[in-house]
């Protein structure tokens, strides 16, 4: 069939102008292309539009409503666990929420898959080359460079994080409506900059937007929307069209990070004995441009993911007063500034965060490109994927599957984590908020530690909380998923123990 369509394509291009016969061949070529795609992997369910244009239209509408991850997850209810997305303009792609497929491209056939050039090309103007965009040898190099830094960070424990959390709690008003999302972004910016550069942005110290890191936060959000747009429209359009607002935001992000790098590289290694990521990194890497790129990648990983998780947590706790009460009781036994092992010893705190990440994983959908012809196992007898074809996967849809998690899979119920046999049912590839295989998240332990410390501090500082709005399914376009707003009202503030 491929040979036939190729021959027809050649005929169309070789006939002289003025002869209209080739025009008649065009519909034939389209029909043959459709038939060819239909006969490939014919046992796999497919998106019902043979040209894939409705899929693009659906994605565009979802982007306008700001609910792309939820729209994408909803497609699996209609078209099945794995389905083909035909395309007349580009290559056929696939969508899956089958754990056996995800395990294949993230782990067992890791070398047959990559993040792909489109991701690198779309993200590079903001992030430069770094661990989130690299493949193959370059990625291995970055991973080897960064891994020990994270191991050292974990050993260090919570350090000054409690101090930043205390400042954030002080800023939460008693009995008044508050949007927690900007506050948790300020917190994670302060902790991430301290960890990365050895000096905090201090955004929780000041209400002056010019100096409190809000300028950087706004620029970082605008720059991310721009690169998400670049990724969605594809290589040709994003090379042709540029947004001056997006590019200006990128410049502002670079100069913000460069000032830290400049100051850090001017001074000798920190004598404080405290761990500083950049101190450690600069003993391996001295080029300021490369230092900026690696730092921006880790800043994105450290600030946005944890802030999103905290935003969802407060909204969900506000909607589930019985969970709040139980969590408050469980956390009362903790000392004022608990360490990681003490936090880990509170199972209900762990279960609340695991449940938030099940329903609202920071990376709700993701994708991989085949680097050679290869096979995905689901549905049996397998899908033949050609080199260059793209597979989208949705951890969020997988983590809400009723056949795995039960009829109440869409409900926030931390108690499910106490059920015996849950993990046998789910399997190690059915729950992946931190990804799996060789590219598993490097900051997982650090993120869980920070999120637990924040949640317990807030829960212990207030008697109760109520939900005051903020749409659960509205998310700003960004590289990770966070609620557009997390609007709640805390009440019954405790006096801070001195």
Q: Which positions lie near ligand HEM, rule CB under 6 A?
A: 131-132, 143, 146, 298, 301-302, 305-306, 309, 357, 361-363, 366, 433-435, 439, 441-443, 446-447
Q: Cα separation of 393 and 42, whole Å?
A: 20
Asked if 46 and 84 count as a contact pair (C-beta separation under 8 A), the reply is yes
Q: Shortest gap between Cβ of 86 and ligand HEM (angstroms)?
A: 25
Q: Shortest gap between Cβ of 130 and ligand HEM (angstroms)?
A: 9
Q: Which residues contact 255 (CB under 8 A, 6 or more apart)?
A: none
Closest CA to 94 of 120, 112, 72, 111: 72
Q: Shortest gap between Cβ of 346 and ligand HEM (angstroms)?
A: 18
Question: Angle at the Cα of 268 (from 266 to 274), degrees rounded to 5?
Answer: 120
Q: Cα separation of 425 and 404, whole Å?
A: 6
Q: Which is nearer to ligand HEM, 81 or 194 (CB)?
A: 194
Q: Which is nearer to ligand HEM, 37 or 401 (CB)?
A: 401
Q: Shortest gap between Cβ of 335 and ligand HEM (angstroms)?
A: 24
**C-alpha neighbours within 13 Å on the C-beta side of residue 28:** 14
In the annotated binding site for heme, the residues are: 441
Q: Which is nearer to ligand HEM, 154 or 163 (CB)?
A: 154
Q: Shortest gap between Cβ of 498 and ligand HEM (angstroms)?
A: 30
Q: Which is nearer to ligand HEM, 127 or 298 (CB)?
A: 298
Q: Cα separation of 203 and 213, whole Å?
A: 5
Closest CA to 252 of 295, 279, 213: 213
Residue nearest ligand HEM by beta-carbon distance:
443
Asked if 352 and 177 count as a contact pair (C-beta separation under 8 A), the reply is no
Q: Which is nearer to ligand HEM, 44 or 397 (CB)?
A: 397
Q: Shortest gap between Cβ of 242 and ligand HEM (angstroms)?
A: 25
Q: Which is nearer to ligand HEM, 44 or 357 (CB)?
A: 357
């Amino acid at each position: 069939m491929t040979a036939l369509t190729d021959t027809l394509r050649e005929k169309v291009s070789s006939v002289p102008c003025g002869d209209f016969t080739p025009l008649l061949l065009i519909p034939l070529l389209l029909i043959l292309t459709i038939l060819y795609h239909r006969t490939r992997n014919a046992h796999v369910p497919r998106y019902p539009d043979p040209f894939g244009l409705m899929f693009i239209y659906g994605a565009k509408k979802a982007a306008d409503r700001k609910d792309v991850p939820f729209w994408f997850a909803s497609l699996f209810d209609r078209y099945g666990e794995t389905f083909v997305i035909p395309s007349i303009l580009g290559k056929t792609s696939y969508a899956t929420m089958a754990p056996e497929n995800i395990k294949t491209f993230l782990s067992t056939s890791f070398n047959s898959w990559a993040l792909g050039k489109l991701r690198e090309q779309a993200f590079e103007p903001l992030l430069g080359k770094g661990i989130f965009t690299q493949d193959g040898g370059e990625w291995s190099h970055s991973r080897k460079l960064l891994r020990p830094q994270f191991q050292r960070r974990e050993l260090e424990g919570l350090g000054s994080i409690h101090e930043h959390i205390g400042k954030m709690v002080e800023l939460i008003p008693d009995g008044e409506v508050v949007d927690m999302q900007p506050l948790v972004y300020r917190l994670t910016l302060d902790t991430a900059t301290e960890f990365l550069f050895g000096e905090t942005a201090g955004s929780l110290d000041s209400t002056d937007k010019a100096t409190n890191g809000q300028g950087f936060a706004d620029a970082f959000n605008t720059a991310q929307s721009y690169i998400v747009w670049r990724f969605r429209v594809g290589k040709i359009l994003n090379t042709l069209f540029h947004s001056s607002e997006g590019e200006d935001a990128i410049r502002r992000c670079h100069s913000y990070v460069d000032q830290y790098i400049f100051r850090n590289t001017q001074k000798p290694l920190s004598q404080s004995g405290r761990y500083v990521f950049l101190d450690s990194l600069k003993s391996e890497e001295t080029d300021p441009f490369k230092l900026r790129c690696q730092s921006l990648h880790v800043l994105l990983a450290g600030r946005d993911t944890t802030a999103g998780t905290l935003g969802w947590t407060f909204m969900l706790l506000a909607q589930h007063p019985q969970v709040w009460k139980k969590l408050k009781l469980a956390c009362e036994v903790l000392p004022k500034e608990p360490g990681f092992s003490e936090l880990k010893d509170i199972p209900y705190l762990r279960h609340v965060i695991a449940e938030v990440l099940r329903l609202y994983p920071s990376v709700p959908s993701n994708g991989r490109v085949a680097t050679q012809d290869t096979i995905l196992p689901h549905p049996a007898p397998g899908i033949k994927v050609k080199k260059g074809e793209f597979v989208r996967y949705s951890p969020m849809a997988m983590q809400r599957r009723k056949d795995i998690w039960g009829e109440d899979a869409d409900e926030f119920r931390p108690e499910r984590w106490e059920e015996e046999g849950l993990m046998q049912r789910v399997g190690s590839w059915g729950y992946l908020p931190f990804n799996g295989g060789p590219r598993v998240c490097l900051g997982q332990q650090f993120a869980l530690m920070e999120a637990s410390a924040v949640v317990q501090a807030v829960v212990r500082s207030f008697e109760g909380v109520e939900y005051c709005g903020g749409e659960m399914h509205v998310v700003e376009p960004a590289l990770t998923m966070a609620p557009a707003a997390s609007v709640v009202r805390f009440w019954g503030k405790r006096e801070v123990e001195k």
